[in-house]
């Protein structure tokens, strides 16, 4: 008999990323994965290329240079920073370090599917709190049991683009037992322009059971470099360092990350573009009679009449535009559209108008 994977592994539905290829179309416009349409900072790209001279050398195992650059940027303790191959890897490390078979995690409804995949790999049970379009603290707390070990929350949330104010994040944390780890996924934090929002760095700095994660895949335009980081209490970071691989961040990715986080001018330009295009695109979609969930990220969730989202998706693809179908996230009648360049946005909007005629 051939080898058999563990039952918990065999039951996992693999993650499906956004598509980037369309048959018969040379250069499709990908508005499916919330990537930066301008690519990375030129300084980050130059640093990545320069690092090719060191491809024959193992990286320094703790990503010290990147941790120090992140610490300098945010005023943090570098020893409490963990770097990984995207924030995804950190979620898997957390599951490996803190979950046993039969333990439970809590996620809000319509959460990023990687949380559940990471938990299932450890044989844990996923409890989904009914929340609607925005995380509901009371609903999440109602699911806490003696078996709860980790609570995951993305703020802002993917795929809805909604957020909860920091007062609600504080209330969520206050309602958790001390042994339950709160994971705040702040992948889109740099885009948020709300006075009542915080990425969670304060909680991660001041408490013993909170870790906040960030990524270079979104606003920094480095999705293919696979780079993310987390900040948390020493006991959590120590456990993750004992769990991760010895060289989990490559030298090119690390050096590109250092250059990226130091290039505030590039980040400011990207934010300014999103600040202008996000409301313009949302208003144009609503003018077509479509419902749009208010978003603070770099994407919008667009709702169609029953059965029409798939038809709209097919129409867009024929014209070279790839959006993200949301059936797997509990929204069978919605598409998620990344904010692209002005030209990309206008093209996708024109194709939708044509479909709706």
Domains, the chain, in order of start with CATH, read 7-39+265-356 (3.90.1150.10), 42-263 (3.40.640.10)
Interatomic CA distance for residues 31 and 19, integer angstroms: 9
How many CA atoms, within 13 angstroms, populate the side-chain half-sphere of residue 129? 24
Comparing 25-29, 98-102, 217-221, the range with the smallest average pLDDT is 25-29
Which residues on adjacent β-strands are paired with residue 30?
A: 322
pLDDT reading at 349 higher than 80: yes
Confidence label for 311 from pLDDT (cuts 50, 70 and 90):
very high
Q: Which residues of 189-226 are buried (b: 16+ CB within 10 A; e: fewer)?
A: bbbbeeeebbbbbebbbeeebbbbbbbbbbbbbbbebb
Interatomic CA distance for residues 351 and 308, integer angstroms: 14
Average pLDDT, integer, range 64-77? 98
Interatomic CA distance for residues 304 and 273, integer angstroms: 26
Residue (of 228, 249, 265, 222) closest to 45 by Cα position:
222
Interatomic CA distance for residues 213 and 185, integer angstroms: 5
Tens digits of residue pLDDT in 256-266: 999 999 999 99
Tens digits of residue pLDDT in 272-306: 999 999 999 999 999 999 999 999 999 999 999 99
């Amino acid at each position: 008999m051939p080898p058999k994977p563990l039952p918990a592994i065999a039951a996992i539905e693999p993650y499906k990323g956004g598509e980037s290829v369309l048959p018969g179309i040379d250069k499709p416009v990908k508005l499916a994965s919330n990537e930066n349409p301008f690519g990375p900072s030129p300084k980050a790209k130059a640093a990545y290329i320069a690092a090719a001279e060191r491809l024959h050398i193992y990286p320094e195992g703790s990503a010290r240079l990147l941790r120090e650059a992140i610490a300098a940027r945010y005023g943090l303790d570098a020893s409490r920073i963990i770097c990984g191959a995207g924030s995804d890897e950190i979620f898997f490390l957390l599951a490996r370090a803190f979950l046993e078979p039969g333990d439970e995690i809590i996620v809000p409804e319509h959460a990023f599917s990687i949380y559940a995949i990471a938990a299932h790999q450890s044989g844990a049970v996923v409890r989904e709190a009914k929340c609607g379009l925005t995380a509901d603290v009371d609903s999440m707390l109602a699911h806490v049991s003696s078996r709860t070990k980790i609570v995951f929350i993305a703020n802002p949330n993917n795929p809805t683009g909604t957020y909860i104010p920091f007062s609600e994040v504080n209330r969520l944390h206050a309602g958790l037992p001390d042994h339950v780890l709160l994971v705040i996924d702040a992948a889109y934090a740099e885009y948020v322009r709300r006075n009542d929002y915080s990425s969670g760095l304060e909680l991660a700095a001041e408490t013993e059971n909170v870790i906040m994660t960030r990524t270079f895949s979104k606003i920094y335009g480095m999705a293919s470099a696979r780079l993310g980081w987390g900040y948390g209490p020493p006991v959590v970071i120590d456990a993750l360092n004992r769990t991760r691989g010895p060289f989990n961040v490559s030298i090119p990715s690390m050096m590109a990350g250092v250059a990226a986080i130091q290039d505030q001018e590039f980040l400011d330009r990207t934010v300014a573009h999103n600040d202008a295009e996000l409301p313009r695109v949302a208003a144009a979609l609503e003018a077509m009679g479509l419902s749009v969930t208010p978003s603070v990220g770099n994407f919008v969730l667009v709702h169609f009449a029953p059965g029409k989202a798939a038809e709209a998706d097919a129409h867009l693809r024929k014209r070279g535009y790839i959006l993200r179908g949301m059936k797997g996230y509990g929204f069978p009648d919605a598409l998620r559209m990344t904010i692209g360049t002005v030209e990309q946005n206008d093209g996708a909007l024109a194709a939708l108008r044509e479909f709706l005629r």
